[in-house]
Amino acid sequence: MAKFTAKPADLLKINFKTPKTDWMDTPVEIREHMYCHPAKAKDLETVGFPNIHEWKPTDENWNLPENWKEIVLSGIKERLQKYRSFHVFMDICVRCGACADKCHFYLGTGDPKNMPVLRAELLRSVYRKYFTTGGKIFGKTAGARELTEDVLKELWYYYYQCTECRRCSVFCPYGIDQAEITMMGRELTNLLGLQLGWIAGPVANCYMKGNHLGLEPHTIKSNIEFMLDDIETITGIRINPTFNRKGAEILFVTPSGDLFGVPGVYTAMGYLMLFHELGLDYTWSTYASEGGNFGFFTSNEMAKRLNYKIYAEAKRLGVKWILGGECGHMWRVLHQYMDTWNGPADFLEVPKSPITGTVFENAKSLKMIHVIEFAADLIKHGKLKLDPSRNDHLRVTFHDSCNVARGMGMFEEPRYVIKNVCNHFYEMPENTIREKTFCCGSGTGLNASENMELRMRGGLPRANAVKYVRDHYGVNMLANICAIDRATLQASMDYWVPGTAVAGIHELLANALVMKGEKERTTDLRGEPLPQKSTEKEGAE
Amino acid sequence: MKILFPFFAVIVLVLLAMIGVGGANLQSLFGVVVPYAAVLIFIIGIIYRVIKWAKSPVPFSIVTTCGQQKTLPWIKQNKLENPSTTLHVIGRMALEVLFFRSLFRNIKGELKDSSRFIYGSDKWLWLAGIAFHYSFLIVLLRHIRLFAEPTPSFLHLLETFDGFLQIGIPRLFMTGIILLAAVTFLFLRRVYIPQVRYISLQADYFPLFLIIGIATTGILMRYFLKTDVVAVKELTMGLVSFNPVIPKGIGVIFYIHLFLVSTLFAYFPFSKLVHMGGVFLSPTRNLTGNSREYRRINPWNYPVKVHTYEEYEEEFREKMKMAEIPVEKE
């Protein structure tokens, strides 16, 4: 595969004209830089996925199993019976088109098959052909079409050009959610062994080693020890967190992305500093060392298998409740699925902040709260000593992660924390934030390097809104509460909005946090000189 | 083709009724048998559809949250966009079904000067949609006059309201005109917006033409090709009392109108028009977003193969001990 070299100006030449031919007669063209490499056989074997075989997206022949059509059709049938969402969403779309220009992939590519309505029609047409009377009798005039290898390739290509961000669902008069349809479509491709490397790898890692990155227990500990060294350098305070400690009050689970690489590690340093300052009785787990869930991008069953370890570990360690880090799809899963899959968590207690005494009734069954809820509560009760001027070199905007926004509705807590730890906060335009937020363009396992064009195109609407606040208010920091955002938005910013950095909120919080016994800080967590310190220095000179 | 075929299909329907009644005198077929069959298909079809949907469970709480969640007491929850009780859900669904809340939110995304996206309010679809559905509803209600004796009093009120412009004799009902205008707008929108034209199927044009046909024949009948209303009422009363009669003097235009309506009824359960029922069953809208507070039960939840802590420790025990991470077995 040739290197992706297109300049932003090239990508901005987006053709929104529709093709001359009808979409059913426009064959799929699988283009370089717009898809991810296939999964490695060993990763699929690790978790026992079916129909593992060699194939390449650009090849004519995908070496499909002989009975592939049967597999897909019985897969559709099974899912129609298991999910009302899927069944209803296959039937009630009126193709009004309200969703069309809501998708970041459509806006960034101009490809009509990325309009959520049409992306869904790719599968609906098959559904009509084999599962509805009208489709069986009237065929194409009823919008039905045969399931052929080309149709399957098209489904594969476009269902991996959807990040399940659910923005379309917000505007749909019937709440049709392309994410639900994409999830079904991806389950179907998974049945045929047509999985992506960037999904299957993390899934296998998470299953065997506890986290997506495949960090082994001692590596997790040593990664965190590196952070502790840095924290000591900056604050003069040595922190001693515990691992797999039985009898701790709280189990802390965060995406492994926070433990590896910049800027995720700064967020993790933020958690460490906050918990130390509070004297929190908590522990990390090397076994349940992942809050994220790439299984969610393969099948419901796999997601449940990966999620299992969080409750299991809480039980084994005998903690009272669970605290979760900053992550996007992790919270969609935790909020809307975990208790159903692996509950009831009746061996835990309703989360209660040991610092403020606040009981989190909104999580009384799940027994797990978000670290931002926890932090907002601390700040509201005046339990933290904060010096927001330490973030004065940052002009901050906030990116609502799609899953937290549209699968949870957590809008005020992160803003409350940011406003208390930063003096300069600016919102992006209102049609691009909160429930209307745009995806980073690289979620659902699409955060690979080989599909950079797709990622940059998908990230364009988000980047464009950041550019607006950069140009108007000089914003230079994009805060968020999602590990995938932290891992992928930097690339998008460098491409579209150079000069904008990306950070988790706990990094900003820790910058502002005045810790007991800390030495005079001269830098922020990134080693950048603190604003007022540098002016003092200049003054002294 | 996509537009022409459904258009001619409706023309054929019109001709069928025209020839069937005007030429072949099949009044009882078009006036009695077809309407009965259509209503029967409609009722059974809708029930079948809804039961089929309802048989698929809703395993997870997948509500789309479009507002602030219920959380700390000092943070204001958006109860209608992120419902946590049944009452909130009823409120949300009422906004959705009665006022098309989600569509009201609609914005248009456009790339300006090849460099920046702008998002402007776009309420035309909402306006046309709401005008279409409400005028259709009122037109439908007005027809109760033909099926009830004496005419229910609320109809007088409705008709006074509908005809308050007091134009012409018989009085002009605004809803008929609004219905025709709105449905025409919805058709033109499909044709003129390239993206919408691209996604449109024949199944999108057919009901539009059908409804345009129904509204047109209705208006023609009321204001231009006057039909004997007394005779029509005799027929309709006969139908509802299961004692059908075919009175003399009913114009062909009425039979065309009735045949198109019958087609719409029979077509309804097999088409996208079932969104009328489906909107109530949409899990992203009709669920509460309180799945952290109350456990949702999945009826087909089954045990899965997992990688246990014991297996994990078995693999990493030595490394864990080296790193001074506690283990279960020494």
pLDDT digits (tens, 9 = 90+) for A336-382: 999 999 999 999 999 999 999 999 999 999 999 999 999 999 999 99
φ/ψ of residue A114, rounded to 5: -95, 0
CA distance A298 to chain B (A): 15
Per-residue pLDDT at A533: 55
Regarding whether A214 and A187 lie in a shared domain, the answer is no
Identify whether B219 is part of a domain: yes
Instruction: Name the amino acid, one letter, at A96.
Output: C
Is pLDDT of A541 > 60?
Answer: no
Regarding whether A243 and A165 lie in a shared domain, the answer is no
Residue B205 CA, chain-centre distance (Å), reads 15
Whether the Cβ atoms of residue A323 and residue A287 lie closer than 8 Å to each other: no
Per-residue pLDDT at A539: 45
Per-residue pLDDT at B21: 92
Q: Pairing mode, if any, of strands B107-112 and B116-121?
A: antiparallel
Residues of A with Cβ-Cβ distance to B211 under 8 angstroms: none
| Residue of chain A nearest B190, judged by CA positions | A96
Pull the structure tokens for residue A110: 């101009």
| Residue of chain A nearest B280, judged by CA positions | A174
Residue contact A118–B199, C-beta within 8 A: yes
- Chosen for mutation from B55, B280, B292, B300 (greatest number of chain A CBs closer than 10 Å) is B292
Share of chain A above pLDDT 70, in %: 98
SS3 B328: coil
Identify whether A375 is part of a domain: yes
Is pLDDT of B4 > 60?
Answer: yes
The tens digit of pLDDT for each residue in B224-280 reads 887 888 899 999 999 999 999 999 889 999 999 999 999 999 999 999 999 999 999
Per-residue pLDDT at B249: 85
Identify whether B154 is part of a domain: yes
Identify whether B330 is part of a domain: no
Residue contact A22–B320, C-beta within 8 A: no
CATH number at residue A22: 1.10.1060
Q: How far apart are the first and last CA of chain A?
A: 54
Per-residue pLDDT at B152: 87
CA distance A535 to chain B (A): 36
- Between the alpha carbon of residue A173 and those of residues A86, A98, A117, B276, the distances in Å are 16, 8, 12, 11
Nearest to A12 among B75, B115, B203 (CB): B115
Number of domains present in the structure of chain B? 1
Regarding whether A351 and A240 lie in a shared domain, the answer is yes
Q: Cβ atoms within 10 A of the Cβ of B227, count? A: 18
Domain that holds residue A109: 12-29+49-193
Residues of A with Cβ-Cβ distance to B312 under 8 angstroms: 208-210, 287
Burial B138-150 (b: 16+ CB within 10 A, else e): bbebbeebbeeee
Per-residue pLDDT at B222: 86
Residue contact A243–B67, C-beta within 8 A: no
Identify whether B322 is part of a domain: no
Q: A172, A193, A214: which is the final residue of a domain? A: A193
Regarding whether A161 and A299 lie in a shared domain, the answer is no
Query: How high is the mean pLDDT of chain B?
Result: 94
Whether the Cβ atoms of residue A117 and residue A181 lie closer than 8 Å to each other: no
Residues of A with Cβ-Cβ distance to B116 under 8 angstroms: 464, 467-468
Is pLDDT of A537 > 50?
Answer: no
Regarding whether A161 and A252 lie in a shared domain, the answer is no
Identify whether A424 is part of a domain: yes
Beta bridge partners of A529: A523
Segment A431-443 mean pLDDT = 96
Strand ranges, E, within A213-341: 250-253, 282-284, 321-324
Nearest to A409 among B68, B111, B297 (CB): B68
- Chosen for mutation from B8, B48, B64 (greatest number of chain A CBs closer than 10 Å) is B64
φ/ψ of residue B88, rounded to 5: -60, -40
What is the number of CB-based contacts under 8 A between chain A and chain B?
A: 320
Q: pTM for the whole thing?
A: 0.95
Regarding whether A313 and A270 lie in a shared domain, the answer is yes
Nearest to A337 among B49, B60, B67 (CB): B60
Regarding whether A240 and A188 lie in a shared domain, the answer is no
Q: How many whole angstroms separate alpha carbon A293 and alpha carbon A395?
A: 32
The tens digit of pLDDT for each residue in B287-302 reads 999 999 999 999 999 9
Tell me whether the omega of the peptide bond preceding residue B170 falls within 30 degrees of 0, making it cis.
Answer: yes
CATH number at residue B78: 1.20.950.20
Q: How many whole angstroms separate alpha carbon A28 and alpha carbon A105?
A: 16
Residues of A with Cβ-Cβ distance to B114 under 8 angstroms: 12-14
Q: Helix (H) and strand (E) counts for chain A? A: 23, 7
CA distance A134 to chain B (A): 7
| Residue of chain A nearest B308, judged by CA positions | A309
Torsion angle of C-alpha atoms A373, A377, A380, A381, degrees rounded to 10 = -170
Whether the Cβ atoms of residue A253 and residue A285 lie closer than 8 Å to each other: yes
SS3 A529: strand
Q: Does A340 touch chain B (CB under 8 A)?
A: yes
B247-252: list long-range contacts, CB under 8 Å, 24+ apart: B250/B27, B250/B31, B251/B221, B251/B225, B251/B227, B252/B17, B252/B18, B252/B21, B252/B22
Q: Residue A183: which of A154, A208, A160 has the closest Cα?
A: A160
CA distance A35 to chain B (A): 24
Identify whether B31 is part of a domain: yes
- Chosen for mutation from B199, B273, B286, B296 (greatest number of chain A CBs closer than 10 Å) is B199
Nearest to B204 among A17, A95, A175 (CB): A95
Identify whether B318 is part of a domain: no
With 0-12 / 13-18 / 19 or more C-beta atoms within 10 angstroms meaning exposed / middle / buried, residue A150 is: exposed
Helix (H) or strand (E) holding B52: helix B34-55
Q: Helix (H) and strand (E) counts for chain B? A: 15, 2
Q: How many whole angstroms separate alpha carbon B7 and alpha carbon B26?
A: 24
Identify whether A38 is part of a domain: no
Regarding whether A232 and A132 lie in a shared domain, the answer is no
- Chosen for mutation from A107, A125, A174 (greatest number of chain B CBs closer than 10 Å) is A174
Number of domains present in the structure of chain A? 2
Among A87-96, A492-501, A531-540, B211-220, the range scoring the smallest mean pLDDT is A531-540
Nearest to A380 among B59, B74, B197 (CB): B74
Higher pLDDT, A407 or A536: A407
Instruction: Name the amino acid, one letter, at B129.
Output: G
SS3 A396: strand
Per-residue pLDDT at A532: 66
Residues of B with Cβ-Cβ distance to A87 under 8 angstroms: 52-53, 56
Per-residue pLDDT at A540: 43
Q: How many whole angstroms separate alpha carbon A367 and alpha carbon A322?
A: 6
Identify whether A44 is part of a domain: no
Identify whether B231 is part of a domain: yes
- Chosen for mutation from A92, A208, A296, A323 (greatest number of chain B CBs closer than 10 Å) is A92
Identify whether A335 is part of a domain: yes
Q: How far apart are the first and last CA of chain B?
A: 76
What is the DSSP-derived secondary structure letter of residue A295?
G
Identify whether A166 is part of a domain: yes
Is pLDDT of B76 > 90?
Answer: yes
Identify whether A181 is part of a domain: yes
- Between the alpha carbon of residue A236 and those of residues A14, A510, A515, A518, the distances in Å are 52, 14, 10, 6
Domain that holds residue B207: 4-303
Segment B186-193 mean pLDDT = 96
Segment B142-154 mean pLDDT = 88
Identify whether B325 is part of a domain: no
Identify whether A519 is part of a domain: no
| Residue of chain A nearest B103, judged by CA positions | A173
Q: Cβ atoms within 10 A of the Cβ of B180, count? A: 19
Whether the Cβ atoms of residue A198 and residue A447 lie closer than 8 Å to each other: yes
